[in-house]
Amino acid sequence: MVSKAAVRNIIIISLLLLTFWAGAAGYASLQYNFAKNNLDLWVKSGKVTSQKSYLSSKKAIISANFWHSNNPVYLESQASILVWGVYAEIEDEALYQQALDLYWQSLQLRPMWPWAWSEWVMTKWRLKQYDEAMLNGLMKLSQYGPYTGEVHITVVDAGLQLMRKRPEFAGQLKPVVERHYLRSRKNGHVRKQVKAAARSHENGAWLLE
């Protein structure tokens, strides 16, 4: 029979652990919010505002992922911050692979989230990894975001690029790219962007006919 003292100790330890994890999650949230605010600012301005802003955001999001692991939102934010770091020429392009891995970790936790698939596909493009995995990623993106404007842009843009680099994928990709292009014609928010994406590829003229 368990003694009252043992039960009391178990309760105390459990409460201490709950307090610790609640505090860790709260701290992680604060770190994430700091990094996300900066990330939103970069997206709005189209550039990383300063190296200091980037480094502090990177430090904060790494801390958020340390104190609250396996959070898909935090993983995606860290990946996005790294991509911006390369874009701003603060980081080396080799860091794209780390970003790709972080997006993949997020997708294992939230596999039906089209935004993460879109960013994963675009990072594959940046790494010039024109492979079957990128093809499968585009198919997943189309499946989970069939009527989403941002998905139309990525499927048309990255799909044409992949078909140009790997013509053997055209049989699978062409109808998917065409479907998203046609759907984009009914979406006033992305219509021009999708059309511009098609025009930017030498193998995209058939979409514009």
Token duo for residue 65: 């992922």
**Cα separation of 76 and 149, whole Å?**
20
Q: Which residues contact 180 (CB under 8 A, 6 or more apart)?
A: 142, 151, 152, 155, 156, 159, 194
Domain ranges of the chain: 1-93, 111-209
**Which residues of the chain are under the pLDDT cut of 50?**
15-16, 20
Average per-residue pLDDT for the chain: 92
60 Cβ neighbours under 8 A, 6+ residues apart: 31, 32, 34, 35
The pLDDT, as a whole number, for residue 26 is 77
pLDDT in tens, 158-178: 999 999 999 999 999 999 999
Give CA 67 to chain center in angstroms: 20
Write down the pLDDT at residue 15: 47
- pLDDT of 27: 84
Residue 161 three-state SS: helix
Report in angstroms the alpha-carbon separations of 178 from 2, 59, 82, 127. 69, 42, 32, 25
| Radius of gyration in angstroms for the set of CA atoms belonging to the chain, rounded to a whole number | 22
